[in-house]
Structure formats: structure tokens, C-alpha cells
Structure 1
Amino acid sequence: MTAETPRDLTTKIDGRRAVGARNRERLLNAAVEVFAERGYRGTTTRDIAAAAGITERTLFRQFPSKAALFQEAVAGPVERFFADFRESWSARPRGSRDSETEIREFFGSLRTVLEGERALLQAFLAATSVGDGEGLGDLRTTFTPVIDSLVEIFAVEAELRGWNADHGIAVRLIIGMAFSATVHRDWLFTDDQLANFGYLIDQLTQMTLWGLAGPRAE
């Protein structure tokens, strides 16, 4: 038998990593669908593995528990949004866009991401609120790092634009409005209001920038 060369070993390792990455992606895609359909309590790791077309043993090589898989399925897209937002913000010269444009785009993009994860976020809230989500932790723990990152961005923008609000609270209120307008939309808004996405984003932007009084007349 011919001895394996270092290159052969490297190729094998790279191949295993590629297979592992593909399995992880398949599991996350399957988890999103199954959790959204059945909720946290009604879903088993066997269900997810079957939906992904892999074995349950393979699932546990990628994720130590159902809770860990659910956490990543819920948090992953939102964390990627904040990472992309920070990268986009960092690439722009400071002050290159007016406040209204910055905030409107942020609200619009964030609400689009949350809309895509709405069923999972609802399942998360349901599981933790009734005690069925043992091991899940809470959304505060999950999203604190990305919120803190956004607070840093807000502090820079606030100094540039003369915003005087408490940075940490302001950022959380902004995210909270986008979150509520998405996750709790069914009882908050009428069908007519929900049908006009642009108008809703305009109102969120107006409330953030000018409060109830609206834009000042020039």
C-alpha cells in the first residue's frame, strides 16, 4: 500500500471540512422550515435530520443539542444582517448620507430580515415564555453582542449629527420598534396598513427622527 503524502492528507481534511460545511447548511435550512412549521417543542432532532436527508448522528456532530441548533437558526440571519450593516457603514465616508436616508434604509433592511425569520422568532418567544425552551437562554443573551456593536456605530453618528439621546437605550428602542412591527404585526396593524410597506417604514423613520411632532417646517 502506498503511503499517503502530506498533500493527500490535506486533500482528505479539506474534503471532510467541505462535507461538514454542506451538512451544516442543510441542517440549518431544514431546521428553519421544521421549527417554523412545528414550533420548538413539536420538533425533534430526528425530524430535522430527516428533513435534511442526513442521519441524526451527523446532526449531533454539527450541533450539540436541539437548543444549539435552534439558537443558530434564529440568530444567524440577524447576526449576518448586523455584520453586513457594519461593513457597509464602515465603507462609507462619515456624514455622506443624511440622517433620514440612513435610518430609513436601516429600518427597511432590518424589517425585511426579521420578516424572513418571523415564524422562528415567534417560536422562540413562545418556547421561552411557557418554559418549553430549556437550554435556549433568551434573546437578550443571544443578541447583546450585535446590539453593542450597533451602539458603537450610533455613538459615532450621534456625535456627527448632534443626536442627544442615550445611545444604548436609543438603539434598543429602534430595534424594538422594527421587531414589534414585524413579529407582532398581526394584532398591531390593519391589513391596509400592512399592505403599504414603504409607508410603514416612513412612519418608523419619522418617529425615530422627529417624534410625534413630525418634521419641522423649514
Structure 2
Amino acid sequence: MCGRYCLDTPRAELQRVLKSWLRPDDSTWLNHYAPRDLIRPHEPVLALRREHGEDRFSHMLWGLLPGWVKDPLQAPRPINARAETIAEKASFRGPWRHHRCLLPSTAFYEKGHLIHRKDRQLFWLAGVWDRWIGPDGSEVESCCVITTQPNSLVAPLHDRMPVIIPEGLESIWLEPGDGAHRRALEPMLTPSPADRWDCKAVEPTAQNKSHQQLSLLD
């Protein structure tokens, strides 16, 4: 699973890396951006999504709340969706068809280890999102990370890893389309090659212990 990740890129560097997606009115969230070395479930996360033909960044809660849920306080809030069944499960099949997103990340955690690109550059976690609208018109936007089988680097730690979208294919991932288009996305739902990644043990903390407990739920 993916139960913890980080986005610790300094603001100026993040603005440079994401400049092709940024719009003039993105200054609002950029001014409030702070690097985070530990992002946990149910916290706000930065996500890129396409809506009404435009790619936009927004903050969403990590833990999917489907739009059809009647009582948001009683509904499960999954943080991960399995790639193998995402087109079938009720909570995910609608977002998979219409609401795919990307979560910028610089590393993810698994069983007391930090996994990052060898070049230390930002990468995109694949996700889906949804919008819940309450009777009073209030809105909650939320998302979850798609997981797949692990590569050889992650396999000794866990039987799942996040789907990572290859650089240059971001627009294809976000693009709406029919069933044929979604089938064309399926090769992206495979594990990223292990030779592109590094893994290092990190100091045990209360947060990492909590992460290990979450891993048992996936």
C-alpha cells in the first residue's frame, strides 16, 4: 500500500518544476505551500486534476469520499485503490472513468524505509478523486492513491506499491476518454522498474510505527 509519502521540495523549486501546469491564480496555494517530509492519510494533499478541459492544482483530503455517499461520517475513507479492481469496485469505478488525478511526491515510506528516485527528483503518484456535495451545498474533494504489485526493490517490504506515472505521460493520464482510452492506460498501472529507485532505512518513529499498522489493513 501507500500509507505515507512526502513532498519536501522547496517552494521556489516546486514552482519551477510545475511551471507548465501553473496558472496565474495558483499563487494562493503556492503562498501557503510548505515542504512536508511526512504526509499522512486524511490530511490535505496537493493534487493535479483535469476538469472542464483545464489542468488545475487543488488541495484534497487523502481518503476517498465517493460523491454518492449519504452520511460522510459513517462512510469508509479508503486511502488506496487496487489497480487490479479499480474499474469494478463501487467506490472507485466512477472516479476511474472521470476523475483521475496526480499527486506530486518526492518519496514514499514502507515498513520503516524511505523510497525515492535515484536522481532525487519529484514524481507523480497516480490517483483518483471525487467530489461530495452535502444537502447544504458544502463540498468535500478527496482522493486516494492507486496501488499495484511491488517491484523487486519494494517486494521485501510489502506486497503493494503506489502506481507511479512515467514522466511525460501526465496529460495522457488526466485526459478523459472512453473505455478504449482507459484500457490504453492499463500499462501505466504496473510497477515502476526497480533500477530507477533507492531505498534506505529511516529512524523508527511513532509515525512509522503507525504506518506499519496501517499496512496490515491493505
Query: Structure 2-normalised TM-score?
Result: 0.26
More helix by share: 1
Structure with greater Cα Rg: 1
> TM-score, normalised on structure 1?
0.26
More strand by share: 2
